[in-house]
Amino acid sequence: MILFLAARPVTPPARPARRRSPYARLFAVPGARAFTAANLLARLPMGMLSVSAVLMIAGSRGSYALAGAVTATGLAATALVGPLTARLIDRHGQARIAVPATAVAVLGSLSLLLCVRSGAPDWTLFASYAATATTPNTGGMSRARWAHLLRDDPAARHTANSFEQAVDELCFLLGPVLATLLCTSVAPEAGTATAAALLLTGVLLFAAQRRTEPPVLPPAPGRPRSPLRTRGLPPLLLTFLATGAVFGSLEVVTLAYADAHGFRPAAGGLLALQAAGSGATGLLLGLLPPAARPARRFLLCVAAMAALLTLPLLAAAAAVPVLLAAALLTAGTATAPTMVTGMGLIQSRTPPGRLNEGMTLAVTALLAGIAAGSATGGWAAEHLPSPAFGYAVPTAAAALALAITATTTAMAARRT
């Protein structure tokens, strides 16, 4: 018996199966890679259009205040039209509505370009940029596809939300750099023309991916007419509004600050650093499990964003570009966690069948805040004693976002 046992070959223990990354599992879903690639192309102009418009208008008319007011008008129009477009998408499907809506928006961008180039009156700039309000929420449509494909897997949905936020940040990283390069090295109108072409091409390719498109759900009896009537959603939208003011003012103030200090071509790079910090933390967040208490995590993320946004103000006052670059990179690290957690709360509180509308309301709040922040930042850059003081605008907006979130969190705790 002993000899028999000794003669038996010893089988080495089996190696444990290598665990795949959450992102690898995400893109194993059929059709995910195709619609993501198309959506990335459609979403890149998101980081280009406003920067291109500001550089094009300020370069031809010599006024950052006018440029900020024009972009603010367009964003305010988007805040009104965006939810209506999203409601049509929920009712009739992504492909059926997104393509004609994009065509109208592209015509608005081209009209702006022609009006600036021909020296048309200022009011034509406002009218043209307002026509871009029909641009569909491409990020929201992508998130809606993930929510449909991963409806039975909350952990995968969390990873998808983190990835989508990282894509947003990638667009804000590459978009301003590309827009600045085109507007300063090729022609002032090149950024707007390129962004319009990318938007139309990307939406056409995205709409062609029909097998991953969420089905249109029939109206359910007793469902709220609008996600705005859903409990807990309006306070979130107020926080998104203040957060949008951070983004809008930070963009215009940075462009004006770089122009005043003689490094205008590097302005897109400075904005890209802020987006890079955000995108990196967004991807890292996707590797973590979903928060057991997402409302508490959201409060902590907003608090971190408010604290870190004091750094660009201090760095700008020192008038050292390297310090400002480091400050923007660091400040950006709190942005993606705030947005990922906030978007997760939006999805969980939006009624079924109204997901595009609910997420577009969040983007609408962001755009309305960006419009206000853009106009306020443009005014501050021109009228305050130093362009560095303009960074007080995003700092104050972040503090307002924290105050709103803390107040609503405390009220919800008292109710429970």
Q: Which of 239, 268, 237, 251 is nearest to 373 (CA)?
A: 251
Query: Measured between alpha carbons, how far is 281 from 336 in angstroms, rounded to an integer?
Result: 6
**Tell me, what's the pLDDT at 353?**
67
Confidence (pLDDT) at 2: 42
Q: Structural domain tally of the chain?
A: 1
**Distance from C-alpha of 259 to C-alpha of 176, rounded to nearest angstrom:** 15
**Domain of 69, in residue numbers:** 36-215+227-415
Does residue 251 lie in a domain region? yes
pLDDT tens by residue, 159-200: 888 888 778 777 876 787 788 888 888 888 888 999 999 999
Domain-embedded: residue 21: no
**Is residue 132 included in any domain, yes or no?**
yes
Position 199 in a domain: yes
367: nearest Cα among 226, 231, 246, 256: 246
Helices (H), 8-93: 22-26, 32-43, 49-61, 64-92
Which residues, given as ranges, of the chain have pLDDT below 70? 1-20, 173, 217-228, 263-266, 268, 352-353, 413, 415-416
The encoded tokens of residue 128 equal 């043209």
**Would you say residue 242 lies in a domain?**
yes
Q: Rounded to 5 degrees, what are φ and ψ at 261?
A: -105, 10
Whether 170 is in a domain gets the answer: yes
Residues sharing a CB contact under 8 Å with residue 358, sequence separation 6 or more, in sequence order: 227, 230, 233, 346, 347, 349, 350, 351
What is the rounded distance in angstroms from the CA atom of residue 263 to the CA atom of residue 321? Answer: 9
Residue 370 lies in a domain: yes
User: Could you tell me if 125 and 116 are in contact, meaning their C-beta atoms sit under 8 angstroms apart?
Assistant: yes
* Structural domain includes residue 59: yes
- CATH label of the domain that carries residue 166: 1.20.1250.20
CA–CA dist 223, 219 (Å, integer): 8
Predicted pLDDT at 352: 67
Cβ-proximal residues to 118 (8 Å cutoff; 6+ apart), any chain: none
403: tokens are 């105050």
Asked if residue 82 lies in contact with residue 302, where contact means CB atoms within 8 angstroms, the answer is no
Query: pLDDT (tens digit, 9 = 90+) per residue, 33-85?
Result: 899 999 999 998 887 888 888 888 888 877 777 887 888 788 778 878 888 88
pLDDT at 311: 92
